[in-house]
Chain A
Amino acid sequence: MRCVSERIRLIGWSIAAVVLAALSVPWFLWGTDTVAVGLPVWVWWHVGWLCLTAVVLRVFTRTAWGLGVEGVGGDG
């Protein structure tokens, strides 16, 4: 059972990693030149997204550290 839930957690965190990387560039704002509070909005999106990334990484280190790395590879 433990193995199954490990696998689900690993898949979940992998998806989270891909989403964090994929949306750090606001593709949906391509071509937009709106400015808010002194900087283009796409810069603000990026700033916010990287702050979110930091929070997610922090949660990861607290709750899932070692997942997929410890006890893997080699014979294991």
Chain B
Amino acid sequence: MAEVGLQVGIILGYVAVALAIGVVAYRLTERSAEDYYLASRTLGTVVLLFTTFATLLSAFTFFAGPNISYGAGPEWILVMGLMDGVIFAILWYVLGYKQWLVGKANGYVTLGEMLGDRFGSVGLRVLVAAISIFWLFPYVMLQQQGAGTAIEALTGGVVPYWAGAGGITLFMIAYVALSGMRGVAWTDTLQGAFMLVMVWVAFVWVASAAGGVGSATATLGDVEGNFLALGGGLYTPQYVLSTAVSIAFGITMFPQVNQRFFVAESKAVIKRTLPLWPVLVLLLFVPAFMLGAWAKGLGIQAGPQENVLPLLLAEYTPAWFAALVVAGAMAAMMSSSDSMLLSGSSYFTRDLYRPLVEEATEQREAFLGRVGVAVFATLSFVASLFQPATLLEIGDTAFGGFAQLALPVGVALYWPKTTRWGMYAGVGGSQLFYLASVFLAVVPRSYLGGWSSSVVGMVAGLVVTVGVSLVTSASAEEDASVCATGAD
């Protein structure tokens, strides 16, 4: 029991620090929507890097990622490196920097707002926001589910699942509603740094307990399927490429990441962040996924519903340290969810409520944004009580869904001849195809020897957007100059 008290104490202490940061941020927050959602576009290099990074990580780093490495080998290191370290870094420039320029010139807060303005279409704006919220919702639910499961496992059932997930939800509502983007970005910075430190301490600790990195790795050769060899089992070249491409493009359209394209203080900030991506990805995921693989070699027994990393730590490190790492995982979930709540709420108020219900003032919108956070979080919490599918399946589906948006948006940003009908067809068509592949048995999820329906849908969306734009002409309300960004 004393151990459970200590573990709960560590998590509560952690939460208290995050909340204190939220309060400080709140005192600096102006009562306007742009400040609430985007911190008035003033984030510096370190905060922007860490808030985007911490937002991307989520529970995957500590739970689902090591679980896959445990089950199939550490090749996810390569998937993650290609995805977040290389492709996302390139997209950070190609889509992110472009969106930053366009957003700064025209004062946009959301993706839907930008596209709606470019194509003179409230319908397109509403469509993009609705698609985004559709995919975002299950993903927030997934984070709450992860938090509830982790706390229940950590405390040996003393804190039941619903209480853990509910507590985390209440806490997030409190500090997101309070502090907005500034508070979220600051706590993300704390959480990101904390996670990095934790994963390395865990890596060194387990390695030394197992007789060194070499001995821990050597155990992988005896595992069924030989985890030392590149490829095999789950990992085919098609799987590695499909997963990395689909998720990397998906990330850019996730509302909480896409909105971060708008928040940099200056061009210099975006510039400095770019080369740091591959380095951060290596620093975090190599140790995290090696730990998952080692757990297999070291004979840790994890059931299909169990997370392997806490089990490994319980075996090789003291209880207080395992609690700290679970707190780190909690941090990961919260730093993803808080940003998702904030951006989900901004999509709702700006792209759905304002155009469809009433044209709210800035102050009223900031208030509505806070209400939106509470409603969104409560609904996803209720959904998490019913736990429909497994963590990874939902996450994977959501990334694929967002990936469908990326290429039409890229075309709209760079190609002046893109038309509204091209966008409707490309965005709508690829979404319908992807949804069908996920939910209908007659539409396959895999094509041409292992390419995922997400990648196939992306290519189809690109072709349709360009094709339909070529055969339709722009209507009078469309304004291609919105996306023109002059050299300076």
Contacts and interface: CB of A to CB of B under 8 A. Distances in A.
B278 A50 contact: yes
Contacts of B226: 33
Nearest to B485: A70
B290 A39 contact: yes
B221 A33 contact: yes
Contact of A46 (B81, B89, B101, B216): B81
Interface string B411-437: 001111000000000000000000000
A69 B101 contact: yes
Contact of B90 (A17, A58, A74): A17
B244 to A, nearest CB: 8
B231 A31 contact: yes
B213 A43 contact: no
B413 A73 contact: yes
Interface string B218-244: 101100001011111000010010000
Contacts of A74: 416, 480-485
Given A17-B90, A24-B81, A54 B229 contact: no
A70 B480 CA distance: 15
A70 B82 contact: no
A50 B229 contact: no
Interface stretch (B18-26, B33-41, B92-100, B443-451): B92-100
Contact of B481 (A34, A43, A71, A75): A75
A10 B270 CA distance: 19
A53 B89 contact: yes
B231 A50 contact: no
A66 to B, nearest CB: 7
B486 A26 contact: no
A69 B100 CA distance: 11
B364 interface: no
B438 interface: no
A32 B229 contact: yes
A29 interface: yes
| Secondary structure call for the B interface | helix
A59 B429 CA distance: 39
Nearest to B412: A73
B271 A61 contact: yes
B275 A21 contact: no
B281 interface: yes
A33 B229 contact: yes
Nearest to B240: A25
B463 interface: no
Interface in A32-50: 32-35, 37-40, 42-43, 46-47, 49-50
A11 interface: no
Contact of A73 (B271, B274, B415, B488): B415
Contacts of B277: 54, 57
A45 to B, nearest CB: 9
Interface string A13-31: 0000100110011110111
A69 B275 contact: no
A12 interface: no
A51 B90 CA distance: 15
A54 B232 CA distance: 29
Contacts of B286: 43, 47
B275 A58 contact: yes
Nearest to B85: A50
Contacts of A66: 487
Most buried by A among B237, B275, B413: B275
Contacts of B231: 30-31
Contacts of B282: 46-47, 50-51
13 contacts: A21-B86, A21-B87, A25-B78, A25-B82, A30-B231, A38-B213, A50-B282, A53-B89, A54-B276, A55-B275, A74-B480, A75-B480, A75-B481
Given A51-B282, A70-B488, 13 more contacts: A17-B90, A25-B240, A27-B237, A30-B231, A40-B230, A46-B78, A46-B81, A53-B89, A53-B278, A69-B94, A70-B486, A73-B485, A75-B416
